[in-house]
Chains A and B, each alone.
Chain A
Amino acid sequence: MLRKLFYALFILSLLLGTSLVSIGQDDGMMEFEITQEMIDASPYLQSVLSRLDEVYDTSEFAKDPPYRIALAAQGTSNAWSALFDAHAYWYVEELGEDVVSELLYGDAQASADVQVPQVEDLLAQEPDALILVPMGAAALSAPVERAMMQGVPVVLCASAVETDNFVTEVGTNLFNIGAMLAQWLIEAVGEDGDFVMMTGIPGVTTSVIMEEGALAVFDSYGIELLDNQPGMWSPAEGKKIMETWLAQHGDAIDGIWTGGAQQAQGIISAYEDAEMAIPPIAGGEQQNGFLRSALEHGFDFLAWMYPNAMITLCLDAAVQILQGEPTPRFIDFINDMPEARPFTHAEAEDYYEPSWSDDVHGPITMSDEALAELGFLIEESG
């Protein structure tokens, strides 16, 4: 009885510990509380919190190397995913042929329609493990379940699915990221500010969950947004929407929440054209073009990181599973990549790399030579 009570108190303390999220503790950047109401309203949050302390017994998947690993990736649809793929191929070479003999690759062109049959094609090749970057939480749930039924362990990389029937997920708590950005914006501007929100692609998990987190915080302050539109993670689409907002609201916009740096570049460009001062932006990233613009214009921002280099952790997890080692069910890349923590305008110069092209998303773990081969390094002037 006492032992049960002890376990119950232990689990409760872990839940409470994870529910008070503090990011950037050193400078007291922001702090917000994940309430039970938020958890109840978010199946994603429930799933992540329940898996935080779980470990998967992978003995059923143990086999001798070398391994054939399937990677169902987003595909080379933008610079982030191009670098993701480049990291994957680079890291497989680093691991060596005696560990990974073949990387079976599927390019989803950022589309769930394409990815669902593609996962079926990959599974038809009977890989030892499947690393999946899901292009839709719901659309990919049944294919993930079928892979597990087939005996192929699934590692979710950079995004989630609706089922819990997979081995592990590598990523970060996207709900927290969305909420943290909103919290920072409110603190930077004040609760009375007028805000607009630009999400990513409707229906894509990363975007949907970040939006959930942000709205939970805005709602908790009783803040009504001026507008909420999808920027499609595209500079062009982001600029188009921002132009409309500027025409509609002018300088009444006190702060902008954005789900990514690509569309933030469009936002900045719209302000440049309108010759207006840029308000605080929550949602930049270590994307070189965004940082260059931020340094030029000197506006306040909070950036988060979603490193394409996390694929190296996904490959490590796949190998770990195939070696039969117990594997955590949620691997937060921030624990393994401490450099991938959020930062503000105060540190922009530290993260800006003059030798990188504008479309490079950091942090990068590859060598400069590898980056140059991919065309992401610019020639130094003078």
Chain B
Amino acid sequence: MKVSARLFGGLSDSQRLFLRRYGPIFAVYGFIIILIVIGATQSERFLTVRNLTNVARQAAFLGIVALGQMLVILTAGIDLSVGSLVKLSILVAAIVMNGDVNNHGAAIAATLGLGLVVGLVHGFLVNEVRIAPFIVTLASLGILRGISLSISTSPVGSASRPFIMFYVQKIGPVPVIAIMFVALLVLTALLLRYTAFGKYLYAIGGNIEVAHLSGVPVKLTRYGVYVICSISASITGLLWLSRMGVGDPAIGDGIELQAITAVIIGGTSLFGGRGTVIGTLGGVLLLGITANLLVMLGVNQFIQGLIQGLIIVAAVALYKQEGD
């Protein structure tokens, strides 16, 4: 007997459907609540405003990249290059800004423009040259990293003072960066729920041939998601520059895996066609709170890898039940 059948035994069809669809997400949020309880009981400083705003701001860094990654994965694609693009974006923004407030516009435009170009190239190679997204973005990971380290292996450029202060700005107790992330979350949710573009993503991820035959503009949609994903990485690069004040090529490695992990934990299928913004937010928060709690409790960070691995296995096992 399947576990799901046992779990959902005495429920109506609509209740079963609801639980199958959202049960694993509830599980992720349930786990977050458990972590919060552990944090609150084990560390007197975990539930302070200072620490919670710190966690919220940190979640934005991973969250913005994860949102872009989720859209790509919804179409049964993947983008392994986002970490390298974050690295290159930091350098480009720092070099163009060069510590001068008058260069803000040029630096932001250059960085977002970089994201746009990288996204278009990915879209072109996936759509027109018909190379698998995994291969395209794996190659891009190496190329963008190589370009970054060719520019400099040591810190270059700098952010202006107001740009650095943006990192610590708050509205009330809430960091502006966290508010920005929430705004992007809402926008993405609206995009997926109320626009044709959002429907197309699920359709392409569900079955690309059927989507094509149904008149879905597959190529255009895929250009769109790769551009959005790359721009989200560039935005994260700008935020990192605000966080550090200089362009440091040491940053960026491994962000792609963190983002993919958050998306998977949040219930987005790696095969496309299924995923929610609220789930991805859950994945981001789970990883963020785990990292924060491990520091609070003085636990070796390698345990974090172990915990992340266990969470992924547990999450996929839960979603597998749904699939069955």
Interface residues of A (CB under 8 A from B): 75-76, 103-109, 111-114, 116-118, 120-126, 135-143, 145-146, 162, 202-204, 208
- Contact indicator A142/B244 (Cβ below 8 Å): yes
B242 → chain A, closest Cβ, in Å? Answer: 9
- Contact indicator B301/A113 (Cβ below 8 Å): no
- Residues of B contacting A109 in the complex (Cβ-Cβ under 8 angstroms): 301-302
A sample of 9 more A-B contacts (CB under 8 A), given A120-B58, A208-B153, is A113-B255, A114-B301, A116-B251, A118-B301, A124-B48, A124-B50, A124-B54, A126-B50, A137-B155
- Contact indicator A107/B301 (Cβ below 8 Å): yes
- Contact indicator B154/A208 (Cβ below 8 Å): yes
A137 to B251, CA, bound (A): 12
Cβ of B214 within 8 Å of any chain A Cβ, yes or no, is: no
Q: Which residue of B lies closest to A76 (CB)?
A: B300
- Contact indicator B243/A142 (Cβ below 8 Å): yes
A116 to B255, CA, bound (A): 14
A20 → chain B, closest Cβ, in Å? Answer: 27
- Tell me which of B54, B153, B244 contacts A121 (CB under 8 A): B54
B295 → chain A, closest Cβ, in Å? Answer: 4
- Residues of B contacting A75 in the complex (Cβ-Cβ under 8 angstroms): 300-302
- Contact indicator B54/A135 (Cβ below 8 Å): no
A121 to B54, CA, bound (A): 7
- Residues of A contacting B247 in the complex (Cβ-Cβ under 8 angstroms): 138
- Residues of A contacting B164 in the complex (Cβ-Cβ under 8 angstroms): 142
Q: A106-B295, A126-B50 are in contact. Are A112 and B149 (CB under 8 A)?
A: no
Cβ of B22 within 8 Å of any chain A Cβ, yes or no, is: no
Residues of chain B at interface, number, CB under 8 A: 37
A136 to B153, CA, bound (A): 11
A–B pairs, 15, beta carbons within 8 Å: A107-B301, A108-B301, A111-B250, A112-B248, A112-B250, A114-B301, A121-B51, A122-B295, A123-B54, A136-B251, A138-B247, A142-B244, A142-B245, A162-B155, A203-B248
- Total of A-B residue pairs, C-beta within 8 Å: 113
Interface residues of B (CB under 8 A from A): 43, 45, 48, 50-51, 54, 57-58, 61, 149, 153-155, 164, 167-168, 243-255, 291-292, 295-296, 298, 300-302
A152 to B283, CA, bound (A): 32
A136 to B247, CA, bound (A): 11
Q: Which residue of B lies closest to A85 (CB)?
A: B300
Q: A113-B255, A116-B243, A162-B246 are in contact. Are A125 and B296 (CB under 8 A)?
A: yes
- Contact indicator B251/A139 (Cβ below 8 Å): yes
A208 to B302, CA, bound (A): 27
Shortest Cβ-Cβ A-B pairs, 9 listed: A138-B155, A138-B248, A107-B301, A121-B295, A202-B153, A124-B51, A138-B246, A136-B250, A203-B250
- Tell me which of B58, B154, B246, B302 contacts A141 (CB under 8 A): B246
A109 to B43, CA, bound (A): 23
- Residues of A contacting B295 in the complex (Cβ-Cβ under 8 angstroms): 104-106, 118, 121-122
- Contact indicator B153/A142 (Cβ below 8 Å): no
- Residues of A contacting B61 in the complex (Cβ-Cβ under 8 angstroms): 117
- Residues of A contacting B168 in the complex (Cβ-Cβ under 8 angstroms): 146
- Contact indicator A126/B45 (Cβ below 8 Å): yes
- Residues of A contacting B254 in the complex (Cβ-Cβ under 8 angstroms): 111, 113
A108 to B301, CA, bound (A): 7
A114 to B250, CA, bound (A): 11
- Residues of A contacting B291 in the complex (Cβ-Cβ under 8 angstroms): 117-118, 121
- Residues of B contacting A203 in the complex (Cβ-Cβ under 8 angstroms): 153-155, 248-250
